[in-house]
Amino acid sequence: MSDPNASALAGAPALSDADAALVADLLDGGHRALARVITKIENRSPGYRAVVSALHEHTGDADVVGITGAPGAGKSTLVDKLAAAYRDRGDTVGVIAVDPSSPYSGGAVLGDRIRMGSNVGDMDVFFRSMSARGQLGGLSTATADAVKALDAFGKDVVILETVGAGQNEVDVVRTADTVAVLVQPGSGDDVQTLKAGILEIGDAFVVNKADMDGTERTVAELEEMVHRRAGDPDRGTGHHGPASGPRSESTGGPPPGGPDGDASGGDSWTPDVLRTVANTGEGVDALIDAFDAHAAYLRSSGAMARTERRRYAEEIRTLVRSDVGALATAEIERRGGIDRLADRVRRRETDPYAVAASIVDPIAECVEGLDAESDAD
């Protein structure tokens, strides 16, 4: 009988000598190698899969924090101050900032780096801009792989920053362990729109620019929303993280386990609503405390295993889909290209279902053939 695990491992892509040296250099702390690996990941260069494969076993030690929010909410400035605060307590930091690219030229101006004023010349903050290159759902794969590179490099904290608009960005930030959603004061309508997809992914809500008018109202609206979410019977009874506001000695986090903790399998974390003024750094330490509390909760409640399982499941599915899609695309090319097939359908010589079946059936037969072989073993 064949061992299914063994065969899965045998599939690991082979590493070329040059790439093996690159991986060794990265693990050894080479900044240039780290930058090069992320470029390979972004470009999907030949061999990038083997590189990410080789890095995987060295990952898992970094706390991954996602920051999202509307344009102009102050994400980049807050990320800068967060990175500086993490550095102050001795942590090394990696930042991936995602900016949209033009759907027309494919070009992009990646402007998040301008805000990184607090960490200039400090190579222990590794800041990398990435453009959303209009790839088919591939952005979250690329950013997740880039996070792996930073994690394997040995960064204690990895911050993932992205605009909170659209499914792609939500997918990106979902690859983080802890997600903070940034809102600016007086954006009552924004809070309404947040409900569509972003509310669900926030582990902390941050009202940035909290020295502006309308802060209290925005905080109140967010709190109401958060508690409505907590009251949802599907989401469990709810722990509270450290209370919002300037109380910063509550780093202990919620009691591990809790009344129904792990057994319920539900989400029992109630997000905090915090205030920051990113320009001055006010509230940044409290925000880091909230991140730490959430990380501690993930570990103690067993939620970490759940989120990781979900994340890797999604990663596997995405990869398999894209590879199978590539197989099918190659098969279409082999049959004269999609235009020729479409023209045949247009002339009523055949129909879309027949064409699809003629392409997929041989692949399916191959798979069945493999099954038969392994049964015979």
Nearer of residues 21 and 263 to another protein, judged by Cβ: 21
Q: CA separation (Å) from 13 to 5, 50, 121?
A: 16, 5, 37
User: What's the rounded Cα separation, in Å, for the pair 207 and 189?
Assistant: 14
Distances (CA, A) of 255 to 49, 177, 186, 238, 293: 40, 19, 34, 11, 10
Q: How far is the CB of 34 from another protein (least distance, A)?
A: 8
> Which is closer to another protein, CB of 32 or CB of 247?
32
d(CA 79, CA 84): 9
CB of 90: closest distance to another protein in angstroms? 20
Q: Which is nearer to another protein, 15 or 304 (CB)?
A: 15
Q: Which is nearer to another protein, 169 or 267 (CB)?
A: 169
End-to-end CA distance of the chain: 6
- Please say which residue, 35 or 165, places its beta carbon nearer to another protein: 35
Q: Judged by CB, which is closer to another protein: 106, or 231?
A: 106
Smallest CA-to-CA distance from 146 within 133, 163, 129 is with 129
Q: Is residue 159 within a helix (H) or strand (E), and if so which, with residue range?
A: strand 157-163
Measured from the CB atom, is 131 or 140 closer to another protein? 131
Q: Which of 273, 144, 263, 129 is nearest to 202 (CA)?
A: 273
In the complex, least distance from residue 367 CB atom to another protein, rounded to whole angstroms: 18
We find the least distance from the C-beta atom of residue 201 to another protein, in angstroms, to be 27
Q: Minimal distance in Å, beta carbon 183 to another protein?
A: 26
Question: Residue 38 Cβ, how far from another protein at the closest point, in Å?
Answer: 7
Residue among 44, 50, 147 at smallest CA distance from 98:
147
Type of residue numbered 154: G
DSSP designation for 14:
P
Task: Report the candidate in 195, 201, 123 with the shortest Cα–Cα distance to residue 162.
Answer: 201
Residue 237 Cα distances to 103, 265, 273, 329, angstroms: 44, 12, 18, 48
Min separation Cβ 128 and another protein, Å: 6
Q: Which of 88, 112, 123, 113 is nearest to 285 (CA)?
A: 88
Classify the C-alpha dihedral 261-264-267-270 as positive or negative.
Answer: negative
Are 208 and 276 in contact, with CB atoms under 8 Å apart? yes
Rounded to a whole number of angstroms, the minimum distance from the CB of residue 109 to another protein is 5
Name which of 11 and 121 has its Cβ closer to another protein: 121
Which of 201, 200, 208 is closest to 172 using CA atoms? 201
- Given the complex with another protein, which of 224 and 323 has the nearer CB atom? 323
Largest CA-CA distance found in the chain, in angstroms, rounded: 74
Nearer of residues 102 and 358 to another protein, judged by Cβ: 102
Q: How far is the CB of 127 from another protein (least distance, A)?
A: 6
User: What DSSP state is assigned to residue 70?
Assistant: S
Contact footprint for another protein (CB under 8 A): 18, 31-32, 35-36, 38-39, 42-46, 48, 101-102, 105-111, 113-114, 117, 120-123, 126-129, 131, 133, 135, 322-323, 325-326, 329-330, 333
In the complex, the smallest distance separating the C-beta of residue 324 from another protein, rounded to whole angstroms, is 10
Which are the contacts of 279, defined by CB distance < 8 A and separation ≥ 6? 74, 77, 209
